[in-house]
């Protein structure tokens, strides 16, 4: 938090003249998912599980970035580990190369690793004027859509030069510090930013190799036979 204050002060000082732009660093995102939304109230079994499970699962991710590349991955261990399996066991390590327009995602689905080579995620962003301050940065709201029907709300700041954000989201003129996907009952918000001069960013290597198209096809195939997975299908594709 202290660091943010320092950054803030420096931004304040310069703001009259020239803004200080951030080129590289590490952002911690706090991911909150309403895990009660996976459960039905009228079902006695689910109602009982709700009792022993906090409403929000809070997990952490780190995003390390410079102007050209970034990597998004698991951060520190969550404080409360009572986390629904679909959140705990479907995670991504996302490496992006903005120059090449490429993305390498190491997906971990119930412990199996898949290495998916794809282009950057395409989101049709609508820029709005709504402001919000996140982690000390002035952000602007953009509303996007993925897979034709899933609405994504992002708050990005142009004070960070890298175009990136949580999971595979990006494509805005700056860094996404806040992201909400109502369909997934999930938000990601930046809690702190550390300035790192030259961060080491390397693409992930583990897992069975797929292209984005192949992977999507496999997931769709899997959904055909596993009805119960539909609830968490989007999770595997973001």
Q: Distances from the Cα of 11 to the Cαs of 6, 7, 20, 27, in angstroms?
A: 8, 6, 6, 17
Distance CA 152, CA 166 (A): 12
Give me the least distance between CB of 36 and another protein, in Å please.
Answer: 10
In the complex with another protein, the residue whose CB is nearer, 124 or 213, is 124
Report the nearest approach of another protein to the CB of residue 54 (Å): 9
Ramachandran quadrant class, 111 (left: phi over 0; alpha: psi -120 to 50; beta: rest): left
| Angle, alpha carbons 237-166-130 (nearest 5°) | 115
Would you count residue 6 as binding another protein (CB under 8 A)? no
Residue 200 in contact with another protein, rule: CB under 8 A = no
Nearer to another protein, 77 or 197 (CB): 77
* Residue closer to another protein (CB basis): 27 or 98: 98
By CB under 8 A, tell whether 80 contacts another protein.
yes
For residues 31-60, which are near another protein according to CB under 8 A? 40-49, 51-53
Strands 25-34, 56-65: parallel, antiparallel or unpaired by DSSP?
Answer: antiparallel
Question: Of the ranges 2-10, 25-33, 110-118, 194-202, which one interacts with another protein (CB under 8 A)?
Answer: 110-118
Q: Are 136 and 189 in contact (CB under 8 A)?
A: no
- Which range, of 1-9, 12-20, 25-33, 188-196, touches another protein by CB under 8 A? 12-20
Ranges within 114-173 binding another protein (CB under 8 A):
114, 119, 122, 124-131, 138, 140, 142, 149, 151, 158-159, 161, 171-173
Find the binder of another protein among 136, 174, 178, 203 (CB under 8 A): 174
Distance CA 137, CA 56 (A): 25
Cα angle for residues 49, 113, 67 (degrees, 5° grid): 105
Task: Give the DSSP letter of residue 74.
Answer: E
Residue 29 or residue 38: which is nearer to another protein going by CB? 38
Residue 89 within binding range of another protein, rule CB under 8 A: yes
Shortest separation between residue 114's beta carbon and another protein, angstroms: 7
The partner residues of 22 in beta bridges, in order of sequence, read: 160
């Amino acid at each position: 938090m202290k660091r943010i204050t320092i950054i803030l002060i420096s931004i304040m000082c310069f703001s009259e003249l020239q803004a200080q732009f951030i080129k590289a660093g590490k952002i911690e995102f706090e991911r909150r998912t309403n895990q009660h939304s996976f459960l039905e109230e009228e079902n006695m079994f689910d109602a009982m599980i709700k009792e022993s499970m906090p409403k929000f699962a809070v997990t952490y991710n780190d995003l390390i970035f410079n102007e050209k590349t970034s990597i998004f991955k698991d951060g520190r261990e969550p404080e409360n580990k009572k986390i629904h399996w679909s959140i705990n066991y479907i995670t991504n390590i996302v490496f992006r190369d903005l120059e090449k327009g490429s993305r390498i995602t190491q997906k971990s689905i119930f412990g199996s690793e898949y290495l998916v080579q794809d282009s950057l995620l395409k989101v049709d962003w609508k820029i709005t004027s709504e402001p919000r301050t996140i982690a000390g940065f002035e952000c602007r709201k953009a509303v996007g859509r993925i897979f034709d029907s899933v609405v994504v709300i992002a708050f990005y700041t142009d004070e960070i030069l890298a175009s990136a954000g949580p999971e595979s989201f990006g494509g805005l003129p700056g860094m996404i510090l806040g992201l909400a996907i109502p369909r997934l009952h999930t938000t990601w918000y930046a809690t702190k930013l550390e300035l790192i001069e030259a961060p080491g960013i390397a693409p992930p290597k583990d897992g069975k190799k797929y292209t984005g198209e192949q992977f999507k096809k496999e997931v769709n195939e899997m959904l055909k036979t596993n009805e119960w997975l539909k609830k968490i299908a989007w999770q595997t594709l973001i």
